[in-house]
Structure 1
Amino acid sequence: MKNAKIRIASCALLLSIGLSTLVGCGGGSSEQASTSGSSPDSAKKADPVELTVEVFDRATPGYQADNNFQTKWIQDNFGTPNNINMKFIPILRTQEVEKLNVLMAANQAPDICFTYNDGVIYNYVKSGGLTDLGPILDEYGTNLKKYLGDELLSYGKFDGKQLAVPAKRVIEGCFAAYIRKDWLDKVGLPVPKTTEEWYTAMKAFADKDPGGLGDKNIPFAIWADPNNINWTSSMLLESFKEKITEEQRMTLPNWVVPGFKEGMRFMNKLYSEGIISPQFTLDKDGKQMEKDIAQGRVGFIINSYDFPLRPVPGVLTELQKNIPGADFIECDPFTNYEGKHPKMKYNPNGLYIVVPKSSKRAVEAIKYLEWMSDPEVLKFLQNGIKGEQYTDEQDGIPLNFFTNDQLPDDKKANFTDLSIIVNGKEFGDQERNIKSASYGYPGFEDRFQKAYEISLTDANYMPHFDSVIESQAKYSKTLADKDVEIFVKSITCKPADFDKTYDSLVADYMKAGGQEIVDEKLNILKSAK
């Protein structure tokens, strides 16, 4: 299949933004070749130009997102030598989509904007609101292109135009599973390596109650997060999928993928046998699950590969404080028809970095990203200064960082939102990158690396089209609500009613827009042949 328009990309939900006013983004860009592209002598005589850059404001006490030691360093080391005044535009992280949409619609967006949200980008592409950066990258972004690579850059291409610069995602792992090793020891079972062994362990946890918890015993904890409905059961459900064609993989929603229904039937069985908590439908943000794990009530979870190991909320540390001898260990138990352990991983790109069509500073924007691709620049932006933000280095990797609440205001740092061409700390090769990431889990460094290895085992990217799926944008909210309904009702109905319940709900899903999305995707595939 010559699927030239198809790329593997993010698993983020496609949101319908409805930006009818975005057509106003199409301002002129005739001044892209500014004085910063002139010779050094002439640049000194010209007035400096201003380059505006979005930056997340995470409301860190004492830290000024648009004026701090890092932004001053950027001005001194990039701005001033290039006759550019750098101006950072803070946008609250929790409001970034709404705020960016307003600024884009009013032609007031920063010269450099970014978002993780696929739906936002698709709407900007559809409205014609983004600058084609391809020719500018060719002329001014040689090292940046080399750093990102052609494959990654292709994730920012839409209908053949480079409308976004994708940031490199250092950490692609997404899921791992964790099981109570002390409970396994009590019921005399090994760490499960197949779905059958896992089910045997869950039955033992339910029937033998190794924690002595009575009705508070939760062998398998899941939640009903409406934004990530399959998150805490994804590895299990993926293992039930049958062999499918590339066309099916690219076009079908999970509910109608061959084998997925049997995975949901298995979830229904687990619920009816008391393996899944009857209260899971009330936990929509995972907070109750966190409490249950920390208090020793849970035997098994599927979650972000590093979730129990994180210093915050610190559920494994709290569990070990509360229950002496307790331990959650990482595992990968679910096997499919091939004996593999399928799961989803994050796509190689993180942020989408864009220049609005209304900007006159696309050249300066690419020069800024090009400068940032220097390893020494990235090291400073992502780590700060030895002796000020951290105390030691090991094999060139900074460690023993001070937290911002330990630093004076003029030394507080943001190590994630200024180095926008990369998501995750970059040290030149993946082994060092993972080692660096493990230092963020003091006491669990080795376990972090094992969990990360599990997260990549037999993992695949999610499918994505580089053309806007208009029906998906149109029906995304309606179908997201129906996702929750199918998930909850199919798991909690009586086993005898499962087929009737599942089939009826899925048929309604397809009538409410699901089939229209499938048809549109099929048409795009056919046109790409």
Structure 2
Amino acid sequence: MKTRQNKKRVASAAALCVLAGAVLAGCSDKGTGEAAPSPEASAVGTAAADPYASLPKAVSFSMFDRGSVSSDEGTYENNRWVKWIREQSGIDVKVVPVPRNQAQDKLNVLIASKQAPDLIWEYDRNYIGKLITQGAIQPVDQYIEKYSTSYKKYLQEHPELKPYLTFEGKMYAVATERTLDSIANHGMWIRQDWLDKLGLKTPTTMDELITVAKAFKDQDPDGNGKADTIPLVGSTTFDAYSAMNAAINSQWYLESGKMKYGATLDRFGDTLALEKQMYEAGLVDKEYLTDKNFQRANQLWTTGKAGIYVASWGSGAMEVHIRDMWKNVPGANPVPLEPVSTKNGKFGLYQETAPFIFVAFNKEMQNPKAAVEYLDWLVDKGWMTLVNGTEGVHYKNVNGVAQQLDADKYKKEVAYAGEYGFLRNVKFSPADLLVKAAPDETSQRLAALSKKGLETATKNAFRRDIPYQPNLTELNDIQAALKPFIEGVRAKVAMQGSQYTAAWGLEEIRKEWKRLGGEKVEAMAQEWYEANKASFK
């Protein structure tokens, strides 16, 4: 697209030269006796200096569709907040929703068909790296330098973000800094009332967790006289198994100074074995491997049929689900559960790195200047309303903290809009949770529980041996092929009997890793680590 614009500008300049030939010496910059430029020539020069000045201020961006927009609010593409953004920012925005649990796959299809939005965002830095190797996105340095004010200032005040945004010496994404409540990504919850009823202690080891789960399955903790309770449910079950064993399958670990891919470690075999044990013993929902949108898991938890919940801590998900549980089961007493120790040690559940959301610029973007203006507006002031709603309607300002006025109204009218504000200049302390919550008794009770949940979720460090993963084209290709392979192996190991052991599964994954060129990538990752480790904090 830029190439066509450049050709048009060259043609226009040539035409002007011909028309001016009778008056001026020509369009050459040679000589010292040039006449002062005419207003028309100045206008042409301005357009050449800023090729986006005359383009419409229009920007499209991706959005995770979490099914959270009620029908009377509209859709993700058209609702009160999209209209508000257009009015307040002066940018004609277009929202392109993608299903949360198939976001990358959907974005890949849109990119391949040249229908992807201008701004593509993800929580996953590795995905940004993949888009770079595919040639789908472009560096943003020049645009931030030339057009930004607010975000440029923010980045100067938060230089720690720059290494995460930089690939191959160029900045390919923008992001703002996470607050503690969004660093704590995953969490676990347990029904304390069930523990009390069955005379059980809070589990601290994996063996104790399994013992508690068996009791939740067999001893009728909900007291309805039926064997209909599910011990453990959630959207991040396998992630929790992996984190507690320090073996996230797509993460690199340092083993005696050597870079090793998580899915190839012995500890990943332990994770497969744990998943098989829990499944075969009936301690998890039998449908959890096919519950892709996690609606069944959430329903089991919120209707009081599950005893342990493993899911995302942030984005208000925990509060929403527990509030719904209290409506269905008023006597329920869910409390945060600390990650348990395994034979491999004690580690926290998944926690995020410093950047909040990685926002990349589509290579086919028409107007980068308008995109930067939108980012500046977001980080300057737009985020505040998108995250909290309208002052006096959805919140009141209490010493700089937005206190919700009505939790149900906020959930319906505002909660879905937070991710429109994918850049945020926000400060946070855990005590803010108590101030921010609506003043009603349920909201305050939930806020106290949320504060305790945050403290529990961040008490144990998630094992991350390097601050961010290497961006290697070969690795990105292998990961794309290995992900569905691992999912297939997991399903066989967990569900298809004794012939498919965890040892078999790990060996299959190692063979596939090797077949795909994993040993070469491992050597490249080691070289990358040696070259970059001095900069790691």
Aligned 8 A contact 1:239 1:335 in 2 = no
The corresponding residue for 1:152 is 161
Asked if 1:304 corresponds to 2:336, the answer is no
SS of equivalent to 1:179: strand
Deviations, residues 474-495 of structure 1 (Å, cap 9, x unaligned): 3445433332333333345667
Deviations, residues 387-406 of structure 1 (Å, cap 9, x unaligned): 3x425333331412574898
Cα RMSD (Å):
4.7
Give the Cα separation in 2 of the matches to 1:413 and 1:298: 26
Cα 1:184–1:457 shift into 2, 3 Å: same
Give the Cα separation in 1 of the matches to 2:3 and 2:435: 42
Written as runs of structure 1 = structure 2, the 5 A alignment for 1:259-278 is 259-276=267-284
Deviations, residues 124-150 of structure 1 (Å, cap 9, x unaligned): 312444332224434554542443422
Give the Cα separation in 2 of the matches to 1:253 and 1:215: 45
Higher relative contact order (CA 8 A, sep 6+): 1
Asked if 1:520 corresponds to 2:521, the answer is yes
The corresponding residue for 2:477 is 474
The corresponding residue for 1:332 is 338
Deviations, residues 320-372 of structure 1 (Å, cap 9, x unaligned): 24xxx332221114025686443211233343323334446434433442343
Aligned 8 A contact 1:294 1:316 in 2 = yes
Runs of 5+ consecutive residues of structure 2 not aligned to the other structure: 10-41, 532-537
Give the Cα separation in 2 of the matches to 1:512 and 1:104: 28
The corresponding residue for 2:200 is 189
Asked if 1:290 corresponds to 2:298, the answer is yes
* Amino acid in structure 1 at the alignment position of 2:308: F
Aligned 8 A contact 2:301 2:309 in 1 = no
Deviations, residues 451-495 of structure 1 (Å, cap 9, x unaligned): 122222223376686654434443445433332333333345667
Cα 1:390–1:526 shift into 2, 3 Å: same
Deviation at 1:447, TM superposition (A): 0.6
Cα 1:97–1:486 shift into 2, 3 Å: closer
* Amino acid in structure 1 at the alignment position of 2:523: L
Give the Cα separation in 2 of the matches to 1:102 and 1:490: 31
1:393 pairs with 397, 403, 409, which one? Answer: 397
Cα 1:395–1:479 shift into 2, 3 Å: same
* Amino acid in structure 1 at the alignment position of 2:506: V
The corresponding residue for 2:183 is 172
Q: Percent identity?
A: 20
Cα 1:354–1:272 shift into 2, 3 Å: closer
Aligned 8 A contact 1:55 1:89 in 2 = yes
SS of equivalent to 1:259: helix
Q: How many residues align?
A: 473
> TM-score normalized by structure 1?
0.71
Give the Cα separation in 2 of the matches to 1:73 and 1:315: 29
Query: Whose Rg is larger?
Result: 2
Give the Cα separation in 2 of the matches to 1:406 and 1:504: 48
Give the Cα separation in 2 of the matches to 1:488 and 1:63: 38
Deviation at 1:446, TM superposition (A): 0.7
The corresponding residue for 1:346 is 352
Deviation at 1:165, TM superposition (A): 1.0
> TM-score normalized by structure 2?
0.70
Give the Cα separation in 2 of the matches to 1:339 and 1:184: 25
* Amino acid in structure 2 at the alignment position of 1:474: D
Written as runs of structure 1 = structure 2, the 5 A alignment for 1:421-440 is 421-422=423-424, 427-431=426-430, 434=433
The corresponding residue for 1:16 is none
Give the Cα separation in 2 of the matches to 1:98 and 1:350: 21
Asked if 1:504 corresponds to 2:504, the answer is yes
Deviation at 1:55, TM superposition (A): 4.0
* Amino acid in structure 1 at the alignment position of 2:305: R
1:87 pairs with 74, 92, 102, which one? Answer: 92
Cα 1:142–1:475 shift into 2, 3 Å: same
Give the Cα separation in 2 of the matches to 1:106 and 1:181: 51
Aligned 8 A contact 1:66 1:87 in 2 = no
Give the Cα separation in 1 of the matches to 2:463 and 2:83: 38
Aligned 8 A contact 2:434 2:448 in 1 = no
Give the Cα separation in 2 of the matches to 1:215 and 1:485: 34
